Amino acid sequence: MTIDRNYLETMAAKVRIDIIRQIHAAGSGHPGGSLSAADILTYLYFAEMKVDPADPDRKERDRFVLSKGHAAPALYAVLAEKGYFPVEELLSLRKLGSMLQGHPDRKHIPGVDMSTGSLGQGISAAVGMALANHIDGSTGRVYALLGDGELQEGLVWEAAMAASHYGLDDLTAFVDWNGLQIDGKNEDVMTVTPIDDKFRAFGWDVQIIDGHDFDQIAAAVEKAKTVKGKPQLILAKTVKGKGVSFMENEAGWHGKAPSEEQAKQAVEELGGEW
């Protein structure tokens, strides 16, 4: 599979700029985990998933569940850039009356397949969607994105067990392995490693990649689609705050809006104009 790396990198930069603009305009939100997930989301929506912004609810579509719902600005950015709604609408994030709720709201936002925000629940819903594909003999695939801190929720492992028990090979989950959560490093708060061995023990196919390298993301997704009888985990090593120098690897940027000056610097570092 050949990918247009240039196109994807340009799109990912746009998505990152959209993330910064949204969170700055809202005055609150989660930049760190949105930026770490930006490349994975860009790849899925612009190189992989069979979806149609003109017909968001088409039955045999691929689906995406943002289990780490606080990265909503990243999802909203790709949906807007993909054409589900106008890019200008992004600036209404988190404002009273906006469809762009602080966490994904499937009732109101075209293209959002599941309402999330309470960690651990999205992956269960993704398992349900993958199961429905099996029941219906649908060709659609289900993608989900989890945080590494999110893996501490017991519900994630209940979902992991069910996905392999039912042999859901149409389910591919990514873990955004940025090593940080709110109170600090994963291993200081509650050790989650080894993530790969845990999922293997739960019956999943596991690949480890660099979550900011489009060639590696592409190869992993292609390989995942060939796996039969098992769900697949793509454990993607990422940098929290990726692309903005002062946010990278800083737990303090988990849930804080940049000031005007900081937003300007961030957008410029990402190659945009303020």
Partner 1 sequence: MADKISTRQAYGNTLVKLGAENPDIIVLDADLSKSTMTAGFKEAYPDRFFNAGIAEANMMGMAAGLAFSGKTVFASTFAMFAAGRAYEIIRNSIGYPHANVKICATHAGITVGEDGASHQCVEDLALMSVIPGMTVVHPADGVSTEKLLRQVAALDGPVYVRLGRLAVPVVYDEGTGITLGKAILAREGSDHTVIACGLMVNEALQAAETLEKEGISVRVLDMHTLKPLDEEAIVRAATETKSIITAEEHSVIGGLGAAVASVVARRCPTKVSMVGVQDRFGQSGKPEELKKEYQLTAEDIADAVRAADAEMK
Ligand X SMILES: Cc1ncc(C[n+]2csc(CCOP(=O)(O)OP(=O)(O)O)c2C)c(N)n1
Please name the residues in contact with 69: beta carbons below 8 A apart, sequence gap of 6 or more.
Answer: 103, 104, 115, 116, 117, 118, 119, 122
Distance CA 138, CA 21 (A): 38
User: Least separation, in Å, of the C-beta of 216 and partner 1?
Assistant: 27
User: Least separation, in Å, of the C-beta of 179 and ligand X?
Assistant: 8
Residue 152 touches partner 1, criterion: CB under 8 A = yes
Comparing CB distances to partner 1, the nearer of 97 and 137 is 97
Comparing CB distances to ligand X, the nearer of 119 and 130 is 119
Q: Which of 10, 118, 193, 259 binds partner 1 (CB under 8 A)?
A: 118
Written in H, E and C, the secondary structure of 148-192 is: CHHHHCHHHHHHHHHHHHCCCCCEEEEEEECCECCCCEHHHHCCC
Please name the residues in contact with 34: beta carbons below 8 A apart, sequence gap of 6 or more.
Answer: 19, 23, 70, 71, 72, 73, 74, 77
**DSSP 8-state symbol, 99:** S
Distance CA 231, CA 214 (A): 22
The one of partner 1, Mg ion, ligand X, none whose footprint includes residue 190, by CB under 5 to 8 A per kind, is: partner 1
Residue 147 touches ligand X, criterion: CB under 6 A = yes
Q: Which of 57, 135, 137, 154 binds partner 1 (CB under 8 A)?
A: 154
109, 94 Cβ separation under 8 angstroms: no
The one of partner 1, ligand X, Mg ion, none whose footprint includes residue 68, by CB under 5 to 8 A per kind, is: ligand X
Residue 232 touches ligand X, criterion: CB under 6 A = no
Supply 85's token pair.
């709604």
Residue 33 touches ligand X, criterion: CB under 6 A = yes
Angle of the 5-26 helix axis to the 214-226 helix axis, nearest 10: 100
Please name the residues in contact with 267: beta carbons below 8 A apart, sequence gap of 6 or more.
Answer: 17, 20, 21, 273, 274
DSSP code per residue over 211-237: TT-HHHHHHHHHHHHH--SS-EEEEEE
User: Least separation, in Å, of the C-beta of 122 and Mg ion?
Assistant: 15
Q: Which of 16, 61, 63, 94 binds partner 1 (CB under 8 A)?
A: 94
Comparing CB distances to partner 1, the nearer of 237 and 256 is 256
Residue 139 touches ligand X, criterion: CB under 6 A = no
Q: Which of 62, 150, 169, 176 binds partner 1 (CB under 8 A)?
A: 150
Nearest to 148 by CA among 168, 174, 122: 174
Q: Which of 69, 120, 147, 231 binds Mg ion (CB under 5 A)?
A: 147
User: Least separation, in Å, of the C-beta of 95 and partner 1?
Assistant: 7
The amino acid occupying position 47 is A
Comparing CB distances to ligand X, the nearer of 33 and 111 is 33
The residues binding partner 1 (CB under 8 A) are 26-29, 69, 94-98, 100-103, 105, 115-120, 149-150, 152-154, 181-183, 189-190
The residues binding ligand X (CB under 6 A) are 32-33, 36, 68, 70, 117-120, 147-150, 176, 178, 180-182, 240, 254
The residues binding Mg ion (CB under 5 A) are 147-149, 178, 180
